[in-house]
A and B are shown apart, each in its own frame.
Chain A
Amino acid sequence: MVTMLSSAAGTLVAAEEVALSDGGALAQYAWLMVVLPFVAALVITLYGKKTPKGGAYIAVASVAFVLVYGLVLLISHWANPITHTENFNIATVGQFDIEWGVVVDGLSIMMYFVVGAISTASFVYAVSYMEGDVRETAFWASFSLFAGAMLVLVSSANILQLIVGWELVGVASYLLIGHYWEQHENSSAAIKAFLVNKTADVGLVIGALIPALIVGSFRFHDILGAAVEGNPGIVKYGFIIGLLLFIGAMGKSAQFPFHVWLPDAMAGPTPVSALMHAATMVTAGVYLLGRMFPFYNSVAIDVLPIVMWIGGITMFIAGLLAIVQDDIKRVLAYSTVSQLGYMTAAMGAGAYTAGLFHLFTHAFFKSLLFLGAGSVIHAVHSNYMSDMGGLRKYMPTTFWTFGIGSLALAGFPLLAGFFSKDEILASLNYASSHGTPSATYVMWIGIVTAFVTAFYMARAVFLTFFGEYKGDPAHEPHESPAVMTVPLQALAVGAIVAGYFNVPGIFTPFTDWLSGREFAPGDHHPESFDVFVLIAGTLAGLAGIAIGYNFFFADGESQKARDSRFRLPKPIHTLLVNKYYIDDLYMLIVEFIRRPLANAANWLNGLIDAVVSGTGILTASIGRFVYEGLDQRGIDASINAIGGGTGEAGAALRYLQTGKVQQYAAALFFGVLALVAAFFVWTSI
């Protein structure tokens, strides 16, 4: 099969080989993939209500285009590695060019394909799942925006654009998590996701600005180039930049201690969870690490052990949490956090390919699991596994696809998760003997987590599909329509075959895809299977399934009987149910900061109020004094007195005006006489 695939690709690409030597038109028009989902989102926003199913088909068409284009790009890249960057200048600010770019290289092509494939499956599925929803149009607009935002992120040629895509993903996820905002907990979950991400984003923004200021450009090409060439400024600040960028990645990729938002993000509709957990949101952090990997591997090499240990801690604690969940989506959510821990640990061990390969395979089986869980929830009308049971008889297609996804996640031999997880463990083992001794411990954590993973997935499958149906007896569950099961089957095929794209030492096209980029990262991984790790990991997985079978597999047995058989020590159980009290700790911290902050703000506000009011009162009293004292009593009164006096005088004197000419003449005459008399008196003195 492997040879068949490669030869098929070979013939397909042979015809286009000349045109695609540097990417050609195919790479130049890759921006269409990024733009179309946004166009779809806009069209749905404007005209969605007038189109059937709230514009669902427009959204599906846009992501189907991404899938086809991504697949063609991937096959072309396979035949003839493409490294192409389109840059569109938007504005120039000082020394900085603000650009919108589209990178077409191995890493981004892989992501285009994954985003396209998972989006198409989720979108097709959602056509039926979301039918008749209260805000169907809003859902489709946000969902298209979500896919488009992720494409902006993965296509970014500069770190500024990456931040834009990063935040767009955050906004779209906020809209989708809070889709059913009528329930307070859902809108709280949306706000929590947004705020936790924002907290981590501080690291990303600062970590992005420092290298840009040093290098004078936001382009990855320039920043990575400076790192590889050993630019002194970049070398000097390499550690802090690497750490800050990793903090940003920890937020989006839900690494401890920022993992708390992801399980709550289950509040959104199930197709959103599938897309968010597989392709669009949580992979962003791992993608950032992958994009910046040449940087980490050259100037920030000291950050990598931290990355590895964060991944190790995350995978283990999240895996344990999945054991005690009753909500099937929460089991899968914690599983996602745990698997992201694997990817991060692989990145930290310097295994660029292994980490991204796990991202690739995980995308298929995790979206499959979420969509399968959605199918079950759709049938049972409950998220809780205690309401399920025995569903394999009612929903055969969902059962076998979900089963394949679970086995793939559990690392069952020859399924996708088996290969990628084994590569991560082997890389950790390799790193422990090549400069990072502590990787041994992380490897053992990984093996234990593989056991835990298999155990909780076995629990989920047995509780959901085996035993007897425990839900509402009046409502018999039924299989979902074909529009939902076909995506499940397609993804199940992906969950089986995705692992074969990177079989160490035998067939490694995935490694070649990812190394087809600028500044190909120095990858640390063994060239062939690591037999010890292979056996240990596989045994851990099988042991997990077996023990899960032992505890939870029993047809016709009640939930209570099964739970009584599997009993964690009381304190541990309490600790896990309360999620290690991390949420409570955060609330405590927030409360601790919030209260004094609120009091201080209140006090300051009072102070400002007092100043403002005092000024107001003072101004008013001055005004009153001026008005009453100066204006009314002084100026007005004197003006009135003059006016009044003139009036009075006029009133008194007007009677002199008799109208009789002779009186006037007499007055004139006697006046002159008086003047003459006065003159004589004056001169005679």
Chain B
Amino acid sequence: MTIAQFAILGGLLFSIGVYGVLVRRNAVLVLLSVELMMTAVNINLVAFGRYFDNIAGQIFSLFVIAVAAAEVGIGLAIVLLIFRNRASANVDELDLLRW
């Protein structure tokens, strides 16, 4: 397997994540799309770490997974509270910070 295949897989996953973030209205799905983008990054880290024979890539991906878990925890908690307040979790309705 060549490095290009891993890079293409990472790029596809990242693009799907970007698409999900920009298009989905449900906050939970937006968070899921963010997870997809992180997964794409992890694949790239591990692949290039292997490719350059550098263990740092794998170690770094473990850190990213840990941070992503924490980020998803906080993100879901926020989404849950917003839902409780507004009976909706649609991100396009959450525009309190606009001009």
Contact = CB atoms under 8 A, between A and B. Distances in A.
A665 interface: yes
Interface residues of B, number: 13
B22 A658 contact: no
B98 interface: yes
Contacts of B4: none
A50 interface: no
A671 to B, nearest CB: 13
Contact of A657 (B21, B92, B99): B99
A439 to B, nearest CB: 119
Interface string B66-99: 0000000000000000000000000110111111
Nearest to B24: A662
B28 interface: no
Contacts of B97: 657, 659
B99 A654 contact: yes
A658 B95 contact: yes
A585 interface: no
B21 A659 contact: no
A655 B99 contact: yes
B64 interface: no
Interface string A5-49: 000000000000000000000000000000000000000000000
Contacts of B95: 658-660
B18 interface: yes
Nearest to A658: B98
B18 A669 contact: yes
Contacts of B99: 654-655, 657-659
A654 B97 CA distance: 11
Interface residues of A, number: 11
A259 to B, nearest CB: 102
A586 to B, nearest CB: 95
B28 to A, nearest CB: 14
A349 B87 CA distance: 132
B22 A666 contact: yes
A51 to B, nearest CB: 91
Nearest to B34: A665
Interface in B1-44: 18, 21-23, 30
B71 to A, nearest CB: 15
Contact of B98 (A657, A662, A666): A657
A666 B33 CA distance: 14
A680 to B, nearest CB: 16
Interface in A450-478: none
A661 interface: yes
Given A661-B30, A661-B91, A662-B91, 9 more contacts: A654-B99, A655-B99, A657-B97, A657-B98, A658-B99, A659-B95, A659-B96, A662-B21, A669-B22
25 contacts: A654-B99, A657-B97, A657-B98, A657-B99, A658-B95, A658-B98, A658-B99, A659-B95, A659-B97, A659-B98, A659-B99, A660-B91, A660-B92, A660-B94, A660-B95, A661-B91, A661-B94, A662-B22, A662-B23, A662-B30, A662-B91, A662-B92, A665-B21, A666-B22, A669-B18
